[in-house]
Amino acid sequence: MTFVMGPALLFCPADRPERFQKAAERADAVILDLEDAVAAPDKQRARGAILAQLGSSGEGPELDPSRTIIRINPAGTEDFEKDLHCLAHTPYRTVMLAKAESANQLRALPDFHVVALCETAAGVVHAPAIAAEPNVVAMMWGAEDLLASLGGTSSRNDDGGYRAVALHARSSVLLAAGAAGKQAIDAVYVNIPDLDGLAVEARDAAASGFGSKACIHPSQVAAVRAAYAPSNADVAAATQLLEAAKEAGTGVFQYQGRMIDGPILRHAESVLRRAR
């Protein structure tokens, strides 16, 4: 099964089955959350909700497994083992491992494609080793849990921008993913009404190389998709540049007053990939 990971991924609490289908319809992929979005007394009910939506008619799950991620609890916890027992009875084989901190934890999930969520100091420091594991398909970072693991109180400054340590973690996970040839997912934007701020951050994520950005509310999906979609002018410029490169036929050439080489051409190719 090839997992389809578009630009906008939407979290949905796993104990709210009435929202499953709506979340899947509104985003490029849905993340059913068995971890932080579900209170401890409700986790077993949340697992039951995932099983219940599979149905008994033999027609398969209501959700497309190629567009569904299950966020499971941290490795080494009792809930982690219960989550895996639940998933063994489902067709879902892409999971997000909360608070991933070591390569060994990924080896406990040999039958799954894993999105490794690095949201603690240990997870960020060990991100390169985690990303190198064969079953890891993507890397994500989390700001709020990271600052909590450090004893901090907020991931952002008063102006809304990330603190230096959060920016370091963001870059570290992106670089680890890129070095291992894996996709990177940018953290959620928790100020739900601030769609302008989300748009700025999503545009930066796209320009920096994050393949996706996670959302916590359906209203955020459109802003993320718009940030990842190149404008018609961007597409036309990239197309013209690549055509000029074919005509030049050399490694380095001048185009509209700029020196053009391999990295600039790859930027243009990225624009066209996003447009597709």
Q: What is the tens place of the pLDDT at every residue in 230-242?
A: 777 778 887 888 8
**Tell me, what's the pLDDT at 55?**
66
What span, in angstroms and rounded, lies between the C-alpha atoms of 44 and 35?
Answer: 11
Which of 207, 228, 249 is at the close of a domain?
Answer: 228
| Letter string b/e over residues 39-52, b meaning 16 or more CB atoms within 10 A of that residue's CB | eeebbeebbebbee
Beta bridge partners of 115: 96, 138
Note whether residue 3 is domain-resident.
no
Note whether residue 1 is domain-resident.
no
Instruction: Assign 155 a pLDDT band (cuts: 50, 70, 90).
Output: very high
CATH code for position 135: 3.20.20.60
What is the identity of the amino acid at 187? A
Place of tokens 């409700």: 42
Q: 232-248 vs 262-275: helix axis angle to the nearest 10?
A: 140
What span, in angstroms and rounded, lies between the C-alpha atoms of 144 and 214?
Answer: 14
| pTM summary value | 0.87
Assess whether 135 and 236 both reside in one domain: no
Note whether residue 102 is domain-resident.
yes
Assess whether 129 and 145 both reside in one domain: yes
The pLDDT mean for the chain works out to 92
Q: Summarize the confidence of residues 195-209 as an average pLDDT.
A: 96
**Tell me, what's the pLDDT at 123?**
98
**Tell me, what's the pLDDT at 26?**
95
Q: Is 107 annotated as a binding residue?
A: no
Assess whether 37 and 156 both reside in one domain: yes
Q: Summarize the confidence of residues 86-108 as an average pLDDT.
A: 97
Q: Summarize the confidence of residues 188-206 as an average pLDDT.
A: 97
Nearest CA among 105, 107, 101, 155 for reference residue 128: 101
**Tell me, what's the pLDDT at 244?**
83
Q: Summarize the confidence of residues 95-124 as an average pLDDT.
A: 97
| 245-267 per-position pLDDT tens digit | 888 877 788 888 888 888 888 87
Assess whether 254 and 118 both reside in one domain: no
Instruction: Assign 42 a pLDDT band (cuts: 50, 70, 90).
Output: very high
Domain membership of residue 204 as a residue range? 8-228
Cα separation values, 122 from 12, 117, 146, Å: 26, 11, 9
Alpha-carbon Rg for the chain in angstroms: 20
**Tell me, what's the pLDDT at 58?**
43
Note whether residue 127 is domain-resident.
yes
Q: Is 170 annotated as a binding residue?
A: no
Assess whether 267 and 186 both reside in one domain: no
Assess whether 185 and 220 both reside in one domain: yes
Question: Which residue has better confidence, 233 or 221?
Answer: 221
Instruction: Assign 61 a pLDDT band (cuts: 50, 70, 90).
Output: low
What are the phi and psi torsion angles at 183 (to 5°)? -75, 150
Assess whether 78 and 203 both reside in one domain: yes
Q: Summarize the confidence of residues 30-41 as an average pLDDT.
A: 97
Assess whether 131 and 211 both reside in one domain: yes
Note whether residue 209 is domain-resident.
yes
Note whether residue 14 is domain-resident.
yes
pLDDT exceeds cutoff 70 at 168 = yes
Assess whether 220 and 261 both reside in one domain: no
| 74-91 per-position pLDDT tens digit | 999 999 999 999 999 999
Assess whether 223 and 236 both reside in one domain: no
Note whether residue 247 is domain-resident.
yes
Beta bridge partners of 97: 72, 116
What span, in angstroms and rounded, lies between the C-alpha atoms of 222 and 231?
Answer: 15
pLDDT exceeds cutoff 60 at 60 = no
**Tell me, what's the pLDDT at 57?**
45
Domain count, the chain: 2
Which of 228, 244, 260 is at the close of a domain?
Answer: 228
Q: Summarize the confidence of residues 135-148 as an average pLDDT.
A: 97
Assess whether 148 and 108 both reside in one domain: yes
Assess whether 199 and 264 both reside in one domain: no
Q: Is 111 annotated as a binding residue?
A: no
CA–centroid distance for 268 within its chain: 23
Q: Summarize the confidence of residues 98-108 as an average pLDDT.
A: 97
**Tell me, what's the pLDDT at 197?**
97
**Tell me, what's the pLDDT at 219?**
97
